[in-house]
Chains A and B, each alone.
Chain A
Amino acid sequence: MTALLDIRDLVVDYGAGNAHPAAVDGVSLTIARGETLALVGESGSGKTSVGRAILRLVEPAAGTMRFDGTDISTLAGDALRRFRRRAQVVFQDPKASLDPRMRVGDIVREGIAIHRLASHAKGDLRVTHLLEEVGLSAADVGRFPHEFSGGERQRIAIARALAVEPEFLVLDEAVSALDVLVRRQVLELLARLQAARGLTYLFIAHDLAAVERIATRVAVMHAGRIVETAETATLFSAPASPEAQALLAAIPKIPW
């Protein structure tokens, strides 16, 4: 197993120092190329902070993060920009995460332009392909995010993330805001994209319900620490930690 991402003793304290308990308090995890690691925990357990620290959207206070062998915790300037082409993110609420004043085509194209991945004409073609790949149509490029439903918006967010051809995606509660049927469709889309593009996922969720069908392994977080990591099947059949047991007990029984 070659680790694409290897994190050791990550601490995120949002500049609070020792005044408050750290949001992320010594997290270590590895993600192998092509797998999906689910990071599960209650609200405030620090899972989103882990995702943001990996993407360097917040600055870690301590710890090492290696991506494909390179230390990413101190990247800056051009090196950081190149890393951000390889590691992308889909946030929870696409109504908030898509710029309300940009057209869909521009939202998807901006990453391509900034990383100079294609000429203007080829970029247009690529945007169209991406939209079709996530189940939207080429005619949607001229529309604004608010003209779409929640599920469609999340597809735009996914197309946007894929535009720069990343290897690694942080899916930060990416299906949590969607209703159960749309959630299943988006999960299927994510699984299909992973198979087709060989993507590696860090799948952040606050409940285990969404995780079972997509995760290879599950890490359970509580109060800034990882309390259990296990293969998905193992965790669902024999959860070791009380936190994992509580999360399992909380899954609503949905007949699907």
Chain B
Amino acid sequence: MTRRIVVRLLQAAAVLAVVATAVFVLLQFAPGDPFAAALDGTNVPPSVRMEWRARYGFDLPPAERFVRWIGALAHGELGYAASRHRPVADVVADAVPRTLLLVGVALALGFAAGILVGLVQARHHRRWPDRLLGALTLGGVAMPEFLLGLLAMTWLGARWRLFPVAGIASLGDTATWPAWERALDLLWHLALPAVVLAVGVAARVARHQRAALLGVLGEDYIRTARAKGLGEWRVLWHHALPNAIGPVLALLGLALPSLIGGAVLIERIFGWPGMGLTLFDALLARDYPLVLAAVLLATVVAVVARALTDVVAESVAPRRARIP
């Protein structure tokens, strides 16, 4: 077990190194610089621009900048986000919890709903609830998040005014509101983006959960459980589900990275000021230090999630570990 964790950590470190290098190299090919917004299109003489570039080290050869960046990174120094006029670390510290909230709620909602749908489908295998939900989950897998997001925003937000169309808090002096009211306001703003993100997760989880349950339902111990006189729901919940949850939990590690990717678009659409929106804006502003930090952070989360999932999957599936 310890050996496996060590191997996982080494793999994670290797992935991080490759991603860091690749992103840095790719950014060299991107046009523009962090001063584009401030200096482009104005009557700024080239000499001023050269001076700015020199002040922030953009005149150095890429190799040297890479070494400097890695060196700073090793000291925990993420640099200055010119587009925000703040240190990168501060921007990230503000944005990360918001994304974690969004992604965490979407993940929890998606898995809970997906497992439930999978259970219902397996319970009514090949009858109409199975077929109806199967069609819906297929649609859920196929539906692009941004499209669903725009539809939800248009109808639930703009037309019917059930939810706010964007942002993380209501306008006005919310700082003076009582805590519970602010929490409710946050949840109200969270609802649409979180549910939209959760739909894709739920659809994938449901399809895996259904398949895994149907595989297990043919086993002899399910027949034993039915012969005991257990009801069908108890058979599903107590005997089939624990034996069929493994492949679905393994999906957690895959869902998290794709959710973070999805969050970039969803945060942009719903104006949710998390890491996704930060990355999006940083890219447009050519704010390289912020882009690099955001991508690296996402990579860390993805790699760690993946490694954790494998470790967890092994510990919840004692058969795989203990029986050769």
Contact = CB atoms under 8 A, between A and B. Distances in A.
Nearest to A96: B220
B contacts with A: majority SS: helix
A159 to B, nearest CB: 12
Contacts of B322: 146
A197 interface: no
18 contacts: A57-B223, A81-B231, A84-B227, A84-B228, A84-B229, A88-B227, A89-B224, A91-B223, A93-B220, A97-B223, A98-B221, A99-B225, A99-B242, A100-B221, A110-B230, A114-B230, A146-B323, A160-B228
Given A96-B219, A100-B243, A114 B229 contact: yes
Shortest 7 CB-CB contacts between residues of A and residues of B: A84-B229, A96-B220, A97-B220, A99-B221, A111-B228, A81-B229, A101-B242
Interface string A97-110: 11111100000001
Interface residues of B, number: 21
B324 to A, nearest CB: 11
B243 A99 contact: yes
Interface in A39-66: 52, 55, 57
B318 A144 contact: yes
Given A93-B220, A160-B224, A99 B239 contact: yes
B131 interface: no
B319 interface: yes
Contact of B228 (A82, A93, A100, A164): A164
B234 interface: yes
A90 B227 CA distance: 10
Interface string B195-230: 000000000000000000000000111011111111
B276 to A, nearest CB: 38
A115 interface: yes
A160 B229 CA distance: 12
Contacts of A88: 227
Interface hub of A89, A99, A100 (most chain B Cβ within 10 A):
A99
A153 to B, nearest CB: 11
Most A CB within 10 A of own CB, among B220, B221, B231, B323: B221
A114 B234 contact: yes
A85 interface: yes
A89 B226 CA distance: 10
A207 B83 CA distance: 82
Contacts of B228: 84, 110-111, 114, 160, 164
Interface of B: 219-221, 223-231, 234, 238-239, 242-243, 318-319, 322-323
Chain A interface size range: 20 to 34
Interface string A113-139: 011000000000000000000000000
Given A114-B228, A146-B323, 19 more contacts: A57-B226, A80-B229, A84-B227, A84-B228, A84-B229, A85-B229, A91-B223, A96-B220, A97-B221, A99-B243, A100-B221, A101-B242, A101-B318, A110-B225, A110-B230, A114-B230, A114-B234, A146-B322, A160-B228
Interface of A: 52, 55, 57, 80-82, 84-85, 88-89, 91, 93, 96-102, 110-111, 114-115, 144, 146, 157, 160, 164
Contacts of B231: 81
A111 B229 contact: yes
A82 B229 CA distance: 8
Nearest to A82: B229
A95 to B, nearest CB: 9
Contacts of B220: 91, 93, 96-97
Contacts of A57: 223, 226-227
A160 B221 CA distance: 12
B221 A115 contact: no
Contacts of B225: 99, 110
A134 to B, nearest CB: 16
Contacts of B227: 55, 57, 84, 88-89
Contacts of A85: 229
A164 B224 CA distance: 13
Contacts of A93: 220
A242 to B, nearest CB: 32
A98 B224 contact: yes
Nearest to A83: B229
Contacts of B221: 96-100
Contacts of B234: 114
A84 B74 CA distance: 67
A164 B243 contact: no
A98 B223 CA distance: 10
Contacts of A160: 224, 228
A85 B230 CA distance: 10
